[in-house]
Amino acid sequence: MPAHDVLIIGAGLAGQRAALAAAEDGASVAIMSKVHPVRSHSVAAAGGINAAISVDDDWHSHAYDTVKGSDFLGDQDAIEVMCSEAPAEVMDLEHMGVTFHRNDKGEMDLRAFGGASMKRTAYVADITGQALLHVLYEQLLKHHETVARYEEWFTTSLLRDDAGNCCGAIARDVRSGRMEAFTAKNVILACGGAGQAYKPTTNGLIVTGDGIAMAYRAGAPLMDMEMVQYHPTCLVETGILITEGARGEGAHLLNANGERFMEKSAPNKMELASRDVVSRAEQIEINEGRGVGPNGAGIYLDITVVPRKRTLEALREIVNLGKDFAGVDITREPIMIRPGQHYIMGGVKTDVDGRTPIDGLYAAGEVACVSVHGGNRLGANSLLDTLIFGRRSGEHAAKRAASMGMPSVDANAQLLEDAARIDAIIARPREGRRVSEIKSELGETMNRHAAVFRDEAGLQAALETIGRLREESENAWIDDRGTVFNQDVLGAIELGYMVDCAETTVVAALERKESRGAQFRTDYPERNDGEWLKHIDVSLGEDGSPAITYSPVTITQWEPEERKY
Amino acid sequence: MAEVHDRPPEQFKLRLRRYDPESGDAPYWDEHTIELEPHRSVLEAILQAKDRFDGSIGVRCSCRQAICGSCGIRVNGEPALACHTHLDAAKASAENGVIEIEPMGNMPVIKDLIVDMDAVHWKKIQRVTPWLLAKQPVPEREYLVSKESMVDVTQTMACIQCGACVSDCLAMEVDPGFIGPAALAKAYRFVGDPRDDQQRERLLDLSEDPQGIFDCTHCFKCVQACPKDVNPMGQIMRLRRIAIGDHHIVDQNNGERHEAAVTGLVRNYGLLHEAELIPRSYGGNSWFAKFTPAAGKELLGSFPVILKGLLRGKLNPKIAVFGHKIPSADLKAVQAIYDKIESRPERYELNLYIAGEDEDATPVAVAAGAGADGGETAADPTSPEGSAN
C-alpha cells in the first residue's frame, strides 16, 4: 500500500503548487489526478493573475477591491493573507520560468481587469493559466525524486481512521482499472469546482465536483455554495469563454440598439464592473428584448475598438477562438456573447492554511472556500487563490506530517466496498436512463433555476428535479463493461458527485433570502446585512439530506457599504 | 456571422477506429450517424455518439476549446484536435463523405482513440531538461528581459502537449528515438529564454545527440499538424541556427559543416552540387575536402546509397559530378539573395506568433486581409519560417 506524508488529489494549479511546497519542505509527496496534470482545467484560465506589484500599488487596495467584489461576504482576514502574499508569489513564479508579458522597461506588464481600481493583472498573452500550469508541471518533473505522480488515477473515496481523521484515499488506476488504497498523513483536495453540474458551462468536462462531494460525504461542511459565478462573455452557442482580458484591453458591450448599456448599471467602471454586475446587466438587456442575434439571446462584445496589433499580441487565443468556434474575426467585427456558468465561489470550508474541520484533510483552489471570493470573485483572483492557498496547504501539511507517524489504518474493507460499487454500476441492467441524459437534465435545470436571477418557486422546482435525478442516477446504466479506460463507469460516479453539488447549491440559494453578489433573488432583490451578512454552511445531515448552519463573516478593516461601480 | 448560427443540423457519418485491449480482437471500424450543425466540432460528434449510442467509446477530452490538449486524434488520416476540427471541413476532406476517426500515430494505442502518451511524448519531453535553469543570482523582483523575448518564447509556451505533431512526425516514424517536434519545441522554450543560464550546454547536448536537432528531416508535417501555431519545425531550425551561428557548435552529427556545405554549394552553383556535398560536409567546405581521410571514409560508406540512386534514375551522373549549370543571370540572382541576407546586422527571425501585426501600418494589406476569408492573416501556420518579405 503506497504511503506518503502528503497525498494531493487534483493536479491543477492548487494541487501542483501544494505538491511543490510540501516537497520543498521535506515531505514525501504524491499527487494524483484523474487526468494528466496539464489537462487540468486551470489550463483554461486566460486573462491573468492579480498582484499589487506595481510600485504605485498597495496590497490594501487589492484587498479592498476584493472585499467589495465579494459584496462584503469574503472573510477579510483571508483576503488580507491572499493579497499581501500575492506579489512575492507572482515573483516566485516568474523565477520558476513563467513567461510574463513585459513592458518596454523589461518589467512585468499589467493589464486592467474587472472590479480592480488600477491595473494589477500580470499575464502571459491570454494563456496565463496554461503558462502557469505548464511551468509548475516543469517543476514537478524537476522534483520527480520527491514527488510521486499518479497520473490518470480516479479517487473514489477518502479514508478516515477511527478517530475521524483523514488518512488517505481509495483510487482506481484509470488505465488498468486496478483499485488501490493510499495511506497518507494528510490529504489535500485540489480537484476544482463543479461547473459540469451546469449546462452550458465554460468548464471542462472533467470539472465534476469530485472533491466537494467526497469531502461532503466524509462530513466536511461546505460554505457559500449558493454563490455561482456567471461570466459575462461566453459564446452564445457553445458557452466557450472569451476572456475578461478583452474588456480589460478596452472592448465594449453593446445591445441591439448599439448602446453601451453598462452606463446604466456601472457608470464609472462601465464594462469593467465586477462580473455579477455585468452579467446581470446583460441578462436584463436580453430579457427586455434588446439582445442581438437569433432569438435576441446575445449581446455584442466589440473588440474592434482595441488596436489590432495589440489584440493579435495580447488576445491571440480569443482571436483563434472567435475564428474557430464562432466564425468571427474579432479584430474586424463584434462577437455575440452572453453570461455563462463559470466558477463556484463556494466549496469545502477551510481556514487560511487550507485546513478543513476534519483533521488531516485540506482543500485549496476552487474546491475550497476560504472564503476569499465571498459573493463574487474578481477576475484574475482565482489563479491567485489556487497558488496562495495551494502553497499554504502544502506547507502546513508538510509541517503537520513532520510531527506525526504514518497512520495505521485497515483500508481493505473500504477498498472492497468501492470496488464492489464500481462492479455494481457496470452490472446494472439496461433499464431506466443513461448517465448522459440525467447529466444533461441536471445541467439544464441548474441553468434555468439557479443562474443569474433566482426565485423561491424556481429553486423549489430545481430541488424537486434534483431529488428525482438523484434516484434515477442511482440506477443509471452504462455501456462499457471493461476495466481498461472505462470512462463510462467513472462518468456514473461523477454524476453522483454533481448531484451532491447541485443539491447543496440549491439548498443554500433557497436559504439566502436576499440578493448579494452572484445570488440575485427576484423575490428578495435587496442586500440585507442585518440578517444575511453571514456564511451559509451545508453539511451532510444524519438523514442523508443537507443540514444548514451559519458562520460569521470576518471583518477586519472594511465595514460593509453600498456597492457601486 | 448570423449565417454561422443559423445553419440547421445535418447528419454526419463517423467511421471510428475501435480497439478493445481486453477482447483479444484486432482493431475494427465502427460506424455511427450523428446530427449536429456543420460548424460544430468532431469532438462534439464523437461525444454525441458516445452519449446516445455507445458509452464505451474511449476518447480523452475536457475543455472543448483547444486549450487542454486532450483530444489529439487523426481525422481522415491527418493529425488534429477533435475539438478544433469542424464537421463540415472534416466531411469535405473525407472519402465518400464518411469522416474517418483514428487514434494518433507513433504512439501505442491503449483503447479506441486513447494512446500511450507517457511512453513516447512525455518521455521525450523529459529528455530535454524541461525546466528553467535560472541565471544566478535570482533577482529580488522579476528578471528584466525584453518584451520581444518573452513574446517569442510564449509561442512555444503555447504548446498544449496534444501530441498531434508527434503523431505524424516522419523522422520519428523512421527513427523512434528521435527527440521529436514537441520536445524540441519545448527545448526552444528554454534556449530562447534569456533567463536560462545553460543555452550553450542545452544546445551542445541536443546537437551531439544523434537523435537530436539534426535528426529532423524538415518535412513540415509538424507545422501543418500543430493546432496552436507553435511551428515546431521552425523552432528546431532556430535551435540549429543558434547552435551553429552563435555557439559554433561543431557536432558529431556534422550538422554545422553540412549546413555550411549546402549553403556554400548553392551560392557557388545556384543549385545543390550533390557529388561535392558529402566530401565538403565531412572534410571541410572547399574543393580539396574530398582528399581528407574522414571524407573518403564517409564517401565509401555512402556508395551503396549512391549506387541505388543511380540505378533507380534518381541521380544523373553527369550533373552529379560536374554540377548544375544555370544561366548566369539566375546565378547572380541567387547570389544577390545571399548578399542581402548576410549583410543584415542581425539574424532575421520571423516570429509567427505575432505575425500579421504590421497590417495596421500597411493599408493595402488590411484591405486584402478583409477580403473573402478575412481573418486568415493573423497567423498563417503554413508560412515557412524565413519567408518574410
Supply the DSSP string of B276-320, one letter for each residue: HHHHHHHH-SSGGGGGSHHHHHHHHHTHHHHHHHHHTT---HHHH
| C-alpha cell of residue A29 | 509527496
Asked whether residue A74 carries a pLDDT value surpassing 90, the answer given is yes
Among the listed ranges A311-325, B1-15, B111-125, which one has the minimum average pLDDT value?
B1-15
Tell me the average pLDDT across B146-163.
94
Tell me the average pLDDT across B230-249.
93
pLDDT of residue B350: 58
Among the listed ranges A92-101, A203-212, B364-373, which one has the minimum average pLDDT value?
B364-373
Q: Do domains B9-114 and B118-246 have the same CATH topology?
A: no
How many residues can be counted in chain B? 389
State ipTM: 0.95
Q: How many Å apart are CA A129 and CA A355, to the nearest integer?
A: 25
pLDDT in tens, B260-311: 889 999 998 898 888 888 888 887 777 777 777 777 777 788 888 888 888 8
Which conformational region is residue A283 in: left (phi greater than 0), alpha (psi within -120 to 50 degrees), or beta?
Answer: alpha
Residue B356: pLDDT band by 50, 70, 90 thresholds? very low
Between residues B82 and B355, the one the model is more confident about = B82
Asked whether residue B127 carries a pLDDT value surpassing 60, the answer given is yes
Residues of A belonging to the active site: 275
Neighbours of A104 (CB within 10 A): 8
Q: What is the pTM of this model?
A: 0.92
User: Of A324, A438, A440, which to mutate for an interface test with B (greatest number of B Cβ within 10 Å)?
Assistant: A324
> Vertex A25, ends A21 and A26: CA angle to 5°?
120
CB A466 within 8 A of CB A503: yes
Q: How many Å apart are CA B280 and CA A190, to the nearest integer?
A: 59
pLDDT of residue A552: 98
How far B362 CA lies from chain A's nearest CA (Å)?
Answer: 12
pLDDT of residue B6: 61
Q: Do B62 and A313 make contact, defined as CB atoms within 8 angstroms? A: no
Q: How many Å apart are CA A331 and CA A251, to the nearest integer?
A: 11
- What residue type is assigned to position B188 of the chain? Y
Tell me the average pLDDT across B372-381.
36
pLDDT in tens, A424-452: 999 999 988 999 999 999 999 999 999 99
Residue B142: pLDDT band by 50, 70, 90 thresholds? very high
pLDDT of residue A391: 98
Give the pairing type, strands A3-9 and A29-33: parallel
Of B6, B21, B142, the CB nearest to A108: B142
Asked whether residue A35 carries a pLDDT value surpassing 60, the answer given is yes
Domains of chain A: 234-339 (3.90.700.10), 427-527 (1.20.58.100)
Peptide bond into A70 cis (omega under 30): no
CB A320 within 8 A of CB A243: no
3-state helix, strand, coil in chain B (%, to 5): 50, 10, 40
Q: How many Å apart are CA B256 and CA B213, to the nearest integer?
A: 11
Residue B183: pLDDT band by 50, 70, 90 thresholds? very high
Chain A partners within 8 Å of B371 (Cβ): none
Asked whether residue B387 carries a pLDDT value surpassing 90, the answer given is no
| C-alpha cell of residue A533 | 451578512
pLDDT of residue B227: 94
Q: Do A43 and B39 make contact, defined as CB atoms within 8 angstroms? A: no
Tell me the average pLDDT across A241-246.
92
pLDDT of residue A493: 98
CATH architecture group of domain B9-114: Roll (3.10)
Among the listed ranges A399-413, B205-219, B351-365, which one has the minimum average pLDDT value?
B351-365
Q: Do B354 and A312 make contact, defined as CB atoms within 8 angstroms? A: yes
Whether residue A482 lies within 8 A of chain B, CB to CB, comes out as yes
Domain boundary assignment for chain B: 9-114, 118-246, 265-342
pLDDT in tens, A281-322: 999 999 999 999 988 999 999 999 999 988 988 898 899 889
pLDDT of residue A47: 87
- What secondary structure letter does DSSP report for A148? E
pLDDT of residue B286: 78
Q: How many Å apart are CA B44 and CA B34, to the nearest integer?
A: 10
> Vertex B9, ends B8 and B12: CA angle to 5°?
140
User: Of B18, B46, B54, B63, which to mutate for an interface test with A (greatest number of A Cβ within 10 Å)?
Assistant: B63
pLDDT of residue A159: 97
pLDDT in tens, A321-379: 898 888 899 999 999 999 999 999 999 999 999 999 999 999 999 999 999 999 999 99
Q: How many Å apart are CA B213 and CA B244, to the nearest integer?
A: 11
Residue A263: pLDDT band by 50, 70, 90 thresholds? very high
Q: How many Å apart are CA A57 and CA A117, to the nearest integer?
A: 10
Residue B351: pLDDT band by 50, 70, 90 thresholds? low
Q: What is the CATH number of domain B118-246?
A: 1.10.1060.10
Among the listed ranges A465-479, B226-240, B260-274, which one has the minimum average pLDDT value?
B260-274
Closest CA to B173 of B217, B210, B131, B136: B217
CB B157 within 8 A of CB A124: yes
How far is the first Cα of chain B from the last one, in angstroms, to the nearest whole number? 33
Q: How many Å apart are CA A374 and CA B311, to the nearest integer?
A: 78
Q: Alpha-carbon Rg of chain B, whole angstroms?
A: 24
Chain A partners within 8 Å of B123 (Cβ): none
| C-alpha cell of residue A450 | 439557479
pLDDT of residue B5: 52
